[in-house]
Amino acid sequence: MRSEDLISSFGEIARSKDMDRDTLQIIVEDVFRAMLRKRYGSDEAFEIIFNPKQGDIQILHIQEVVGDWEVEDPVTEIKESEAKKIDDGFAVGDEVAGGLDVSEFGRRAVMTARQTFRQRIRDIEKEQVYQEYTELIGDIVVGEIYQVRRHETLLMHEDTELVLPRDEQIPGDHYRKGNMLRTVVKEVRRDAGSDPQVVVSRTSPVFMERLFEVEVPEVHDGIVEIKKVARIPGDRAKVAVESHDEKVDPVGACVGVKGVRINAVVRELSDENIDVMQWSDDPQELIARALSPAEPTNVSLNQDEDPPRARVEVPADEVSQAIGKRGVNIKLASQLTGYEIDVYREIPADEEDIDIEQFGDELTEETIGKLKRIGCDTGKAVLELSADALARRADLDRDTAKQVLEIIETEFEKGPGIIESIRQGRFTVESVQTAEAADTDGTTPSEASTESADSKGPGDADEEPPEAGAPAPDADGEETVVDGPAPNEPEQADGDSEATEEGGDEEVEEQDEIPQSPSEEQQEAESTPEEPEVRS
């Protein structure tokens, strides 16, 4: 094969690959030098002259003239007698340049040169693809779907294959061959000896940022900056934005008139719900905004832990909003702020509740930890949920959830004991005069009781505990106060008084008394001590 034919075939290959002239020249020289090294063991004594415009190549073999008996390397040296055959003017020490024909290499060498040329072009193409798409990392590319596989979808972009893995696809998306798809370049992988693999994504937060740049001119121009994006692909996302111009509302700019701008992004992301909020450099304010639609009443930070934690208190009716369905809202808020957020139910001052950790003797630490993670830090917060909801949100089996509810319900049904009730002011200890003493001073027993109750406040520390009629708890945990006869007082058939506690009210019943003489009544009144009464 002539050198012109070989160069012509090289040119056709280069034009099909859209290769520039300088690159073609470098490849051709490298191919021929590889042929020379294979035949002569070295290419130092050769010079290659390639003219890409005319499509011809010339190979020169340069040798030094030495004496006929002094030749040590026939590749780089030539005998004086042989040099004179070329030109009589050559002498020892001169250089002789002779031309080589490609046909001298043989047919096998020429075929090898063609294969080497093709391989070099492929290597250069791989390098070009790697460099080109490495610079496009983080940018949106539009590719045509040409193959849908089980674990990945393949796209074609400018004759380059793009790979969209399954975990980089938005859940619920369905792709068809021939459809155009927007993605963002995530990374370019290159293994030794293999083609570079361009991996694209539709679940990356960067993809949402680039979509906002396309749809919102203020973001594209840098007036509004997207500080951070937190996504659960296909479900919900939170975007924190900040304006560098006081006249521009960052949230309004991203939403657009009647939501036209953000709706374009939502449609591209398969109806993913997007919350746009204003960025704040204050972590407490940022956390409060990130938990929207809930409105926290208090946010306290703990920077000592890694990652840092935040304790957030919200009204009781907003706990479920702060946590969100399946914990989505609090998870996105944690991603956006960088804090592990613990939501606690705010307990009003007039409401009695029990901290969930007080049930540690009946619930395991793991169960208590799961309850606190979903914001159920008190007993009443747990009782607001059904067994199914508690099992689903706290990742408990249904039997365990039912057992937790039963334990907490039982604790609230017991209520506080008599001593605790007295301490909290629910019961008062009062003195009740006997019927005889009441008759002496002209008041009825009920009037005396009323006057005594009005004169003493709840929990009066000056009162002494009753000597007769001690409180006795019933079997079901309720307290009942029974009054017995006072010392040295004769028993009466119908004169006993009974105090009954029903919802904090007391009823004192009076019975007919046996008449006594004035002297006996006075003596009995002086000898009978006052009887204390426990009232609610």
Q: Are strands 236-243 and 224-232 parallel, antiparallel or unpaired?
A: antiparallel
Q: Give the H or E element holding residue 147.
A: strand 140-148
CA 135 to chain centroid, in Å, comes to 28
CA distance 282 to 85: 92
CA 220 to chain centroid, in Å, comes to 26
Give the pLDDT confidence score for residue 118 in this predicted structure.
Answer: 79
Residue corresponding to tokens 């960025």:
279
> Which of 182, 264, 250 is closest to 215 using CA atoms?
264
Q: pLDDT 10s per residue in the chain (536 long)? A: 455 566 666 666 666 666 667 777 777 778 878 888 887 787 787 887 777 666 667 788 788 888 878 878 787 888 888 888 787 777 888 888 777 776 677 777 777 777 887 788 788 888 888 999 999 999 999 999 999 998 999 999 988 899 999 999 999 888 999 999 999 999 998 876 678 899 999 999 999 999 999 999 999 999 999 999 999 998 999 999 999 998 999 999 999 999 999 999 999 998 999 999 999 999 999 999 999 999 999 898 988 888 888 988 888 788 888 888 888 999 999 999 999 888 887 766 555 677 787 787 788 888 888 887 777 777 777 887 788 878 887 888 888 888 888 888 887 765 544 444 444 444 444 444 444 444 444 444 444 443 443 444 444 444 444 444 444 444 344 443 444 444 444 444 444 434 334 444 444 344 444 444 444 544 444 544 444 444 43
Helix (H), strand (E), coil (C) string for 306-366: CCCEEEEEECHHHHHHHHCHHHHHHHHHHHHHCCEEEEEECCCCCCCCCEHHHHCCCCCHH
CA 7 to chain centroid, in Å, comes to 59
Q: Give the H or E element holding residue 275.
A: strand 273-278
Residue corresponding to tokens 């007993």:
379
* Inter-residue contact 412 to 379 (CB < 8 Å): yes
CA distance 181 to 170: 12
Give the pLDDT confidence score for residue 39 in this predicted structure.
Answer: 79
- Greatest Cα pair distance, the chain, in angstroms, is 174
Question: Which tokens is 512 given?
Answer: 């007919």
CA distance 417 to 379: 18
* Inter-residue contact 482 to 469 (CB < 8 Å): yes
Amino acid at 142: V
Q: Give the H or E element holding residue 10.
A: helix 3-16
Angstrom distances, CA of residue 249 to CA of 237, 242, 257, 399: 20, 9, 12, 51
Question: Which tokens is 3 given?
Answer: 């050198």
Give the pLDDT confidence score for residue 346 in this predicted structure.
Answer: 74
- Cβ density class 408-427: b for 16+ within 10 Å, e for less: beeeeeeeeebeebbeeeeb
